[in-house]
A = this chain, B = another copy of it.
Amino acid sequence: MNNINIKITTPFWLNYFKLIKNEMLPYQWAVLNDTADIVIEKERDAAYIPSQKSHAIENFKIAAGLKTGHHYGMVFQDSDVYKWLEAAAYCLKRFPDKEVQKITDDLINLIGKAQESNGYLNTYFTIEAPTRKFKRLYQSHELYCAGHFIEAAVAYYEAVNNKHALNIACKLADHLCHTFGNAPNQIHDYDGHEEIEIGLLRLYKITKNKNYLNLAHFFLYERGKDPEFFHKQVSADPDKSVLIEGMDNFKASYYQNHKPILEQTTAEGHAVRVTYMCTAMAMLANEADDTAILEAAKKLWQNITQKRMYITGGIGSTVIGEAFTTDYDLPNDSMYCETCASIGLIFFAGNMLKNDINSHYSNIMEKALYNTVIGGMALDGKHFFYVNPLEVNPAICHTNPSKSHVKTTRPAWFGCACCPPNIARLIASLDSYIYTIKNNIIYCNLYLANCCTLSVNGKNIAFTEETNYPWDGNINFTINTARQFGLGLRIPDWCESFTLKLNDKNLLYNIKNGFIIIDRNWSVNDQIELILSMPVQIYTSHPSIIADSGKLAIQRGPLMYCLEGVDNGSNLHLLYLSKNAIFTEQQKNSALGNIITLETTAQKLCSDFNWHNHLYYNARHIKNKFIPQKIQLIPYYTWGNRGENEMRLWLNEYNS
C-alpha cells in the first residue's frame, strides 16, 4: 500500500481497535501461552482436532531447545502465533506501546531460536519429524506456516522499523528458494494450503529480491499441473503415518490441484484455500504485470461472487471440506461460511483493485467485512464463530449431527484456531483496504472517518473524511493539500440515490466502474459532501437459489439485518414480510452496542387447527390466516450475543 498515515476516527471502528488492543490480543496471547481460563471448542466434531490447550508458544520453546517435550496441537499450530504477531504489529503501528513491543520482540527472539541453521522454521517438524520435512506437502502446512511468518515479519518491519523478524523471514525464504524449484535437486512442487505465495510477494515488495517473486510465480504456476502430485509424494514417503487425520479422502480440487490455475474457471474445494490462492494470483498479476493470471483471477472472482456467495459475503456451502459445491447451491442452515474465507475474500478483493479498479471488488469487500467478518467475533472480542450461518434453530443444531458444526453462540477458542487471530490481523490492518491509489487517483473503497496523508505519485496528499458510516451515508471530505489529483468516490451497490457537492455546490459527475472521479487542482479546505441515501432495502435472490426462493433479505447501508428469537419469539419461519413493508429505524444503545435496529410489521402464519398429535393434515380443512406481528431486526453481525436463540436472515415473502 502507498498509504503513509491513516488515522481512523469512526467510533464504530475505534471500538473494534480498542477491543483488539485491550481484549483480543491480550486474550489470544494468554491462550497461546496456555494461561487463559477458557474452554477450547472443537470447530466441528472431528476426533483428530486437539482441544485441551493451545501449547503454541510452548512448541516454539521446545523447538528452540529451551524446554523439552513434545509438540502439541495441529501441525499448523505455529500459524496461530504468526497471525497474532501480525495483528500485534498492526496494532503497535496504531498504538505504540513499549510493553507490548517487549512481548513481540521477545517472541521474535524465540522464533529466531526455533529456526534451524539452514533457515528451516516449523516447530512440528523440528521437534517431531525432522526426517519428513517437505515430504507430505498436502498435509504438512510447512509453507503455509512459513507464509504466515513472512507476512508477520513484513508487518512488524513496517510497523516498528525493526529488522529482526524480517531477517528471520529472509533466511527462511532463502531456504525455500534453495529447496523448491525446477532444478533436478529441488522439490518440484507446492503446499497443500496456499499462503506462502502471499508471504513471498509481500517480502518481495519490501526487499525487491527477485528470487521471492520467482518462487511465488513457480508455486502458483506449478499448481495443478499434476493433480496426482500429492498422492505421489505420499506414496514416496516411507513413513505412512498421517499428519492430519481425515485429509486423505479429499479430492485434488480440495487443494485447487485439479487443473493448472490458468484453466480454473470455477471456485472448487476448500474456500479459504481458494481465496488465498486468488489473493496471490492478484498480487502476482500486479507485481509481475501478468495479464494471464489476472484474467484467471477475474474468472474466479466472477464465479465466486456471481454464483457461489451468500448475501453476507460468506462462502463455502458445505462443512465437508469447508468447501464450495456448485453454482447457486447456498443452503442457509447447513453451510460453512467460515470467517477466514470471508477474510480471504477481502484479501482477494483488495488485491484485485490494484489491478482493476472497479467498485464491485469494493462492494464485496464491504459486504464481507460488515457482515461475516465482524459477525465472526462477539461484541466482547473474546468469543468467535468459525461458521457463520444465515439461519439457526438451536434444537436442531444440537441434535442433528449434519448441523453440529453450526454453533448457536460463539465459543471462546477453537482447537483449530485459524479464525480468531485472522479477524484480529484483518481489522488491525483495516487502513490498508480503505483506499486504492492508481494513476494519480485516490479511490475510496470503504467509507469511514479518518485523517490521512497518502503518497500519490511520490507527493503527499492530506485530507480528512468525516462520517458516521455505516449508520448513515453522510460523508464529508476536507482537503488539506493544494495539489492536482483525483478523488474516486465509490457509489455502493446498495445506494440508489445520492447528492454530491463541492464547496456547497452541486457537482456534475460521471460514474465509471462504480466510482465518481473528481480530478481537479484542489485547494486547501476544499469540501466534498457526499450524501448516500441509506434507506432500508429489501433484497431478493437469483431464481436458481433454492434456499432463498420466495424469501427476502433486509439490508440498510452495508449491513444485513436478521431476526432473533429473543426479540421476536420462536418459529421465525412462520413470519412473512411484504416487500412493501415500511420500516422504522431506531437508534439504540443496548447490549448490542450503539446500533440502529429496524422495526416493522410482519405477518405471522397461524392456523385455526389444533395440531395436537397430528404431523400432517388435510389443508382444505385448515384455515390459515396471517396475523400482524411487530418485529425487530438487528444487524446480522450482532446476532448470537444475547444467549442461544433462533436466528433467521432470509424471511418468507408475504404476497399481500
Binding site for B on A (CB under 8 A): 45, 47, 249, 302, 305-307, 309, 311, 317-321, 323, 325-327, 329, 331, 334, 393, 395-396, 398-402, 496, 537-546, 549-550, 552-553, 571, 573-574, 579-580, 605, 607, 611, 613-620, 622, 624, 652-653, 655
- Find out whether the CB atom of B655 lies under 8 angstroms from the CB atom of A655: yes
On chain B, the residues within 8 Å of A541 by CB distance are: 615-617
On chain B, the residues within 8 Å of A393 by CB distance are: 329, 546
CA distance A396 to B105 in the complex (A): 50
A329, closest chain B residue (CB): B396
Name A574's contact: one of B331, B334, B549 (CB within 8 Å).
Answer: B549
Question: Whole-angstrom distance from the CB of A510 to the nearest CB of chain B?
Answer: 22
Question: Whole-angstrom distance from the CB of A359 to the nearest CB of chain B?
Answer: 14
A646, closest chain B residue (CB): B546
CA distance A329 to B552 in the complex (A): 23
Known contacts: A538-B619, A579-B619, A622-B540. The answer to whether A320 contacts B613 by CB under 8 A is: no
- Find out whether the CB atom of A573 lies under 8 angstroms from the CB atom of B552: no
- Find out whether the CB atom of B605 lies under 8 angstroms from the CB atom of A543: yes
- Find out whether the CB atom of B613 lies under 8 angstroms from the CB atom of A302: yes
Known contacts: A306-B614, A393-B546, A605-B543. The answer to whether A400 contacts B619 by CB under 8 A is: no
On chain B, the residues within 8 Å of A323 by CB distance are: 401
Q: 4 tightest A-B contacts by CB?
A: A320-B401, A540-B619, A326-B399, A325-B400
A570, closest chain B residue (CB): B544
- Find out whether the CB atom of A615 lies under 8 angstroms from the CB atom of B400: no
CA distance A496 to B620 in the complex (A): 12
A614, closest chain B residue (CB): B542
Name A400's contact: one of B307, B318, B580, B653 (CB within 8 Å).
Answer: B318
On chain B, the residues within 8 Å of A320 by CB distance are: 401-402
- Find out whether the CB atom of A539 lies under 8 angstroms from the CB atom of B306: no
Known contacts: A305-B615, A615-B307, A615-B545. The answer to whether A579 contacts B400 by CB under 8 A is: no
In the assembly, how many copies of this chain are there?
Answer: 2
- Find out whether the CB atom of B399 lies under 8 angstroms from the CB atom of A615: no
Name A652's contact: one of B327, B539, B550 (CB within 8 Å).
Answer: B550
- Find out whether the CB atom of A249 lies under 8 angstroms from the CB atom of B47: yes
Given contact pairs A318-B402, A540-B622, a sample of 13 additional A-B residue pairs in the complex whose CB atoms are under 8 Å apart? A307-B615, A317-B400, A318-B401, A325-B396, A326-B399, A326-B400, A329-B395, A329-B400, A402-B402, A540-B607, A543-B571, A553-B616, A579-B620
CA distance A620 to B553 in the complex (A): 12
Question: Whole-angstrom distance from the CB of A208 to the nearest CB of chain B?
Answer: 38
Known contacts: A326-B400, A402-B402, A550-B605. The answer to whether A539 contacts B573 by CB under 8 A is: no
CA distance A552 to B264 in the complex (A): 41
A-B contact pairs, 27 of them (CB 8 A): A305-B615, A306-B614, A307-B615, A318-B400, A318-B401, A318-B402, A320-B401, A325-B400, A326-B399, A327-B395, A329-B393, A329-B395, A329-B396, A334-B334, A539-B617, A539-B618, A540-B619, A542-B611, A542-B616, A543-B574, A544-B571, A545-B615, A546-B573, A549-B605, A550-B550, A550-B652, A655-B655
- Find out whether the CB atom of A319 lies under 8 angstroms from the CB atom of B402: yes
- Find out whether the CB atom of B325 lies under 8 angstroms from the CB atom of A619: no
On chain B, the residues within 8 Å of A542 by CB distance are: 611, 614-616
On chain B, the residues within 8 Å of A326 by CB distance are: 395-396, 398-400
CA distance A249 to B47 in the complex (A): 8
On chain B, the residues within 8 Å of A653 by CB distance are: 619
- Find out whether the CB atom of A549 lies under 8 angstroms from the CB atom of B537: no
Question: Whole-angstrom distance from the CB of A302 to the nearest CB of chain B?
Answer: 7
Known contacts: A319-B402, A396-B326. The answer to whether A543 contacts B607 by CB under 8 A is: yes
CA distance A622 to B542 in the complex (A): 11
Question: Whole-angstrom distance from the CB of A514 to the nearest CB of chain B?
Answer: 14
